[in-house]
Amino acid sequence: MVLGGKCKMEYTNQVKSMCKVTCGAHHGCAPIPEEGKWVYSREIKDISGFTHGIGWCAPQQGACKITLNVKEGIIQEALIETIGCSGMTHSAAMAGEAIVGKTVLEAINTDLVCDAINTAMRELFLQICYGRTQSAFSEGGLSIGAGLEDLGKGLRSQTGTIYSTLEKGPRYLELTEGYIEKIALDDNDEIIGYQYLSLGKFMDFIKSGMPAEEALTKARGQYGRFAEAAKVIDPRKE
């Protein structure tokens, strides 16, 4: 019950009739590692760190990864990545505007529209409040902008897309390096390498004014024993 702006405790008659027993030792909370220091975290403003959280929606059709850079309880930087659901991308766009500038407590109580994003925020909250952050032992923490460094050159999320059937086997469609154009097979039709197109690099070349054909050539790369292939196939058509 709140009276005059102060909280007044209401006790049952059973508790009122009890005699008082003095509490023993009071050790307080345990410190957690934060940005190269051991911190006694008692309030939201005591929380700092760079960390991640993974979430999923109820039918588990899509997933979300949130990366936050929190300084003294305030979210200074947010990276939101989603996969598997088209509607989730629009929710991520709204969440990117909604949570920056809020405390982590406000953010976890903000409706981020998508269940997967809400779940990711919850998991991240647990990580950061227990001191399980990427910057736990980094003195001074990570600079604002560290989230972009997670994306690498071209600022694209690192995703892997593989499709496979029992009858026809696996097809690499997208890996960390980029869009898979061709798969190299040996004499046993086993995958021994692939040719990829780095879409981030390709777009950078195009924006710089480079002709499309030249940009394609410069943005291509190979992995594995691609040059030794007995056969090369297009994973999307063959």
Predicted confidence at residue 4, as pLDDT, reads: 52
Domain ranges of the chain: 32-151, 161-233
Q: Is the pTM of this model over 0.85?
A: no
Q: Extract the residue ranges of the chain whose pLDDT is less than 70.
A: 1-6
Predicted confidence at residue 6, as pLDDT, reads: 67
Predicted confidence at residue 5, as pLDDT, reads: 56
The DSSP secondary structure of 152-170, one letter per residue, reads TTTT-----EEEEETTTEE
> Looking at domain 32-151, does it have CATH number 3.40.50.10790?
no
Q: Is 46 helix (H, G, I), strand (E, B) or coil?
A: helix
Rounded (5°) CA angle 232-236-238: 50
Predicted confidence at residue 221, as pLDDT, reads: 94
